[in-house]
Amino acid sequence: MKKITIAIDGYSSTGKSTVAKMLAKELNYIYVDTGAMYRAVTLYAMRKLFIKEGYFDKEALVRHLFMVNVKFALNADTGLGEVLLNSENVEREIRTLEVSNFVSQVAAVPEVRKLLVMQQHEMGKDKGIVMDGRDIGTVVFPDAELKVFMTATAEERARRRFEELQQKGEDVTYEAVLENVQKRDELDTTRKDSPLKQAEDAILLDNTHTNIEDQFHILLQLAKDRI
Ligand code: C5P
């Protein structure tokens, strides 16, 4: 059977990764969460104190980029990739609200994007991949056979994210999560390098009122139509 490239872009907390993972599993494709890669670089910058509240030393981060190694390792129990930052599994640390609060600034640095996009090209060179992010259909794989752009209201996305963080035991308020979601929307859509936008040939999926199962079936059908 023909293997294709599936690009899933969209706003933060639209549930992109949940459906992308389901799709990859069903099709026996590789799944790559590119947001996790930007989050890992952000965690590195935070640990080195290159970024903190009201301060970002971009030059220092760019100078140290050659020392940043981001990879995925397969978790045998879940069958999913987990992010390694310089060989350390940081899958849990990169999901905190603190990392979310800094990641869009780090993701706006062209040198960071260049490095990660290069790795993403390499991961997708044989197709048979579902990649989610912000610029997959526009920049990383503009020739992807299937492009989906996911959106939902900021309030609904914040509600989902808030529940997820609460379940993980993070001490956060709904208001703080909503503020983060709105701030990231603003930064991600207005940055100069690879801003978040729907590719002309992407299919728009507003999932404010659609559950995960239904989204999965819609995407699976779209993929099957192209295989
Ligand atoms: O997908 P996730 O919400 O984990 O992504 C975190 C952040 O990483 C986004 O808000 C965005 O700033 C950045 N990102 C990006 N390009 C991608 C994936 C994520 O700029 N392809």
Mind listing the pLDDT tens digit for each residue in 56-74? Answer: 999 999 999 999 999 999 9
91 Cβ closer than 6 Å to some ligand 1 atom: no
Among 127, 149, 180, give the residue marking a domain's end.
127
Same domain, 24 and 135: yes
Tell whether 165 and 194 lie within a shared domain: yes
Q: What is the pLDDT of residues 93-135, one digit of tens each?
A: 999 999 999 999 999 999 999 999 999 999 999 999 999 999 9
For ligand 1, atom 19: residue with the closest CA:
35
Work out the pLDDT band at 1, boundaries 50, 70, 90.
Answer: confident
Give residue 147's pLDDT band: very low, low, confident or very high (50, 70, 90). Answer: very high
The answer to whether 129 touches 123, Cβ cutoff 8 Å, is yes
Same domain, residue pair 153 and 101: no
Single pTM value for the model: 0.96
> Do residue 188 and residue 101 come from a single domain?
no
Q: Are residues 25 and 38 in the same domain?
A: no
Are residues 215 and 164 part of one domain?
yes
Please tell me whether residues 142 and 185 are part of one structural domain: yes
Let me know whether 149 and 98 are in one domain: no
Distances (CA, A) of 13 to 138, 155, 170, 180, 182: 19, 10, 16, 11, 11
Ligand-binding site membership of 14 (annotated): yes
Residues 46 and 96 in one domain: yes
40 and 96 co-located in one domain: yes
Compute the distance from residue 104 Cα to the ligand 1 centre, in Å. 7
What one-letter code names the amino acid at 38?
Answer: Y
Q: Atom 14 in ligand 1: which residue has the minimum CA distance?
A: 35
SS3 at position 22: helix
Q: Diameter of the chain by CA atoms? A: 51
CA–CA distance, 93 with 97 (Å, rounded to integer): 10
Q: How far is the CA of 34 from the centre of ligand 1 (A)?
A: 7
**Ligand 1 atom, smallest distance to 108 CA:** 20
Q: Which of 90, 105, 127 is the last residue of a domain?
A: 127
CA of 103 to the centre of ligand 1 (A): 7
Mean pLDDT confidence for 3-30: 96
- Residue 15 annotated as part of some ligand binding site: yes
191 lines ligand 1 (CB under 6 A): no
147 is in an annotated binding site: no
Q: According to the model, what pLDDT value does residue 121 have?
A: 97
* Gap between the Cα atoms of 21 and 121, Å rounded: 19
Based on the fold, state whether residues 85 and 144 are members of the same structural domain.
no
- Residue 10 belongs to a domain with what CATH number? 3.40.50.300
- Of 64, 96, 127, the domain-final residue: 127
Q: How far is the CA of 79 from the centre of ligand 1 (A)?
A: 23
Interacting residues of 80 by C-beta distance below 8 A, sequence separation 6+: 21, 31, 74
Q: Could you read off the pLDDT of 157-191 as tens digits, one per residue?
A: 999 999 999 999 999 999 999 999 999 999 999 99
The number of distinct structural domains making up the chain is 2
Is there a single domain that holds both residue 122 and residue 140? no
**Neighbouring residues of 166: CB distance < 8 A, sequence distance ≥ 6:** 172
| Domain containing residue 82 | 32-127
What's the token pair of residue 34?
């590119």
What is the Å distance from ligand 1's center to 134 Cα? 6
Q: What is the mean pLDDT of residues 140-160?
A: 97
